[in-house]
């Protein structure tokens, strides 16, 4: 587990040094002050803008791929339409499929007279 690049053992070491330097009472005041400061930071408008921007940057590759795929699909439709403009693009999918030809019905087999004797 790392927080800001600081591992668990390093965090414990920092807390011990802070306890030695500040003492128990000042450590309590410092903890409360840091907690209030972090609370104000998280509730601020700047933090919300930071979070939104971070989410946009994380989703940027996915959004770019969606846009690229949409452009490729549109170019493919345009190319197919330029090849055969007579077929309506909405009915193109049904026109390209070959209809299934039904085979004539099969007559039931007649019983063999040799087996019944």
Query: In this structure, is residue 62 part of a structural domain?
Result: yes
Distance CA 89, CA 80 (A): 9
pLDDT at 31 over 90: no
Domain that holds residue 63: 8-83
- Judge contact between 13 and 5, C-beta under 8 A: no
**1: DSSP letter:** -
Q: How confident is the model at residue 14 (pLDDT cuts 50, 70, 90)?
A: confident
Query: In this structure, is residue 49 part of a structural domain?
Result: yes
Query: In this structure, is residue 88 part of a structural domain?
Result: no
pLDDT at 113 over 70: no
Query: In this structure, is residue 36 part of a structural domain?
Result: yes
Residues 64-82 have pLDDT tens digits of: 999 999 999 999 988 888 8
Query: In this structure, is residue 58 part of a structural domain?
Result: yes
Query: In this structure, is residue 52 part of a structural domain?
Result: yes
pLDDT at 34 over 90: no
User: What integer pLDDT is reported at residue 78 of this predicted model?
Assistant: 87
The dihedrals phi and psi of 6, each to the nearest 5 degrees, come to -110, 125
User: Average per-residue pLDDT in the chain?
Assistant: 79
Instruction: Give the pair of three-digit tokens for residue 110.
Output: 């007649």
Query: In this structure, is residue 45 part of a structural domain?
Result: yes
When divided into structural domains, the chain yields a total of 1
Query: In this structure, is residue 100 part of a structural domain?
Result: no
């Amino acid at each position: 587990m790392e927080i800001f690049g600081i591992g668990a053992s390093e965090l414990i070491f920092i807390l011990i040094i802070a306890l030695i330097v500040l003492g128990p009472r000042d450590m309590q005041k410092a903890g409360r002050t840091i907690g209030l400061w972090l609370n104000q930071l998280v509730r601020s408008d700047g933090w919300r803008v930071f979070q939104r921007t971070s989410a946009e940057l994380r989703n940027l590759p996915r959004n770019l791929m969606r846009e690229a795929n949409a452009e490729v699909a549109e170019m493919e439709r345009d190319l197919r339409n330029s090849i055969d403009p007579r077929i309506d693009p909405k009915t193109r999918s049904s026109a390209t499929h070959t209809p299934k030809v039904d085979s004539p019905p099969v007559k039931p087999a007649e019983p063999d007279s040799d087996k019944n004797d």
